[in-house]
A and B are shown apart, each in its own frame.
Chain A
């Protein structure tokens, strides 16, 4: 669709005291897509979407959302943009339908609360108090509240954090249903699997900057440099010969000999180049292994300079 972007953010910047939460973020989100904002905890994702949604004023840069300026037209913007924020609960004793009807009264032309309960699979829970809902049900109610104003754009922040795998999958189905209903979605997440499964395009955020933008496949492509080729010669060959054979082979970024095997990191036509070069030096091999990069590898490769590993590890531990 060749329309103006739903979100156009350029060079956004935001600091809290001496902490530079967002250093330079530019995004362009098209109508009808599910756009992932992916990054580790503390990468600047939430601050970025808060600036886009008019909840925080950028220190620098410009942002336009649905043709509105969030810094001066927040109220008009909130009519058209639904936000589901991290850790936004409701009063314990507020019931599901009551919450939806209350929030519906905030908008000029709200959706039918009954329709939304249906869409989010909460019809059976319409009279349940918030505190009696499961984690997944709370998240779905939270999404319903973000949608009750019939937004053109929904921003969903860490939608599935803390959910068990089953509830997570249910919530993903809901996100797809919302997109099918014509809503543009910005999905903020630190979960690779979620981004890979749902997003049409992803902006990878690290250290307050955009490290890469593209479809999940393109992001993986960008990180092909982390492809690892492991070749064990059929007969032992001197290290120098192995490494020398690689001189001038395109795509090789790094090569070492580990335990008599040649380990080559690189991208492009790495596999073909390395095998041809070895054959040319009469090195035969039947033991070739290629470790393909996943989105998760790409994530580590593209954002590896910043932060630490454990944040990623927790995604598995949480489940």
Chain B
């Protein structure tokens, strides 16, 4: 136990002498709403944690840039067995995978772990004693994480285009739609973990399990087109596998990936309301 180094307030503080807890001057009260304040605060906290900030924001861009510059397969056709996939380079084919990884890193790790930490440490409980309540902090968390995801994905894409000179997607709007549905479904899955995990450790364990399983089926270690048929089939039904397949299809101009889009929409439509329903505040 440490001894407090500050001095004992033996003299009456100035605030008490002039009737403490006087209202703040009007100038000091000019402030954003609670939600805006919370968003700013959560964003600050994210960038103040170097490890978390790198993992969330920088990992995808570093991964794709390094692979693109170092790997001999990066300039080879992505998959010469497939007429469409043979037309794009290896690193172009890897770009949807990295976008999926960016989504999973934030949606399955940063987001649920932060929420569980807030639950474990009583941050949510403390907020429940204020007129604002804890729900708004969750909204702020989701918004900050979405913002971080946009930054992470943009960095990765810019580097892929500028440094690695990837082929641009044939159907950019379909890629964007697939990305959006992937975000909704993966955050839904992350929200399920965030809703119940009692501790940081529990959220980390669950999140990391979901993360690595998702990454496998997204083709991070081995691109899906060269994986066994059964793995590709399973991947179709998982949020991140469906995300990679849908974005890849749209990238090369394959027919609209209806099945994958529906799968992601279903995950989002089921997981999110369930997470809201089962959420534990303390």
Contacts and interface: CB of A to CB of B under 8 A. Distances in A.
A136 B4 contact: yes
Interface in A30-65: 53, 55
B41 interface: yes
B130 A106 contact: yes
Contacts of A53: 129
Contacts of A90: 121, 123, 126
B282 to A, nearest CB: 9
A177 B13 contact: yes
Dominant secondary structure at the B interface: loop
Interface residues of A, number: 64
Interface in B22-50: 22-25, 28-29, 31-34, 37-38, 41, 44-45, 48-49
A135 B126 contact: no
Nearest to A169: B8
A110 B2 CA distance: 32
B12 interface: yes
B162 interface: no
A93 B34 contact: no
Interface in B80-126: 117-118, 121-123, 125-126
Contacts of B5: 134
B258 interface: no
A91 B124 CA distance: 11
A241 B186 CA distance: 86
Nearest to B36: A105
A170 B4 contact: yes
Interface of B: 1-10, 12-16, 19-25, 28-29, 31-34, 37-38, 41, 44-45, 48-49, 117-118, 121-123, 125-126, 128-133
10 cross-chain pairs, A with B, having the tightest CB-CB distances, nearest first: A88-B122, A83-B129, A112-B24, A88-B126, A181-B20, A115-B15, A89-B121, A136-B4, A106-B132, A119-B15
17 contacts: A87-B121, A89-B122, A108-B131, A112-B23, A115-B14, A115-B20, A116-B20, A121-B9, A137-B6, A145-B126, A147-B21, A149-B130, A164-B2, A173-B9, A173-B10, A182-B19, A182-B21
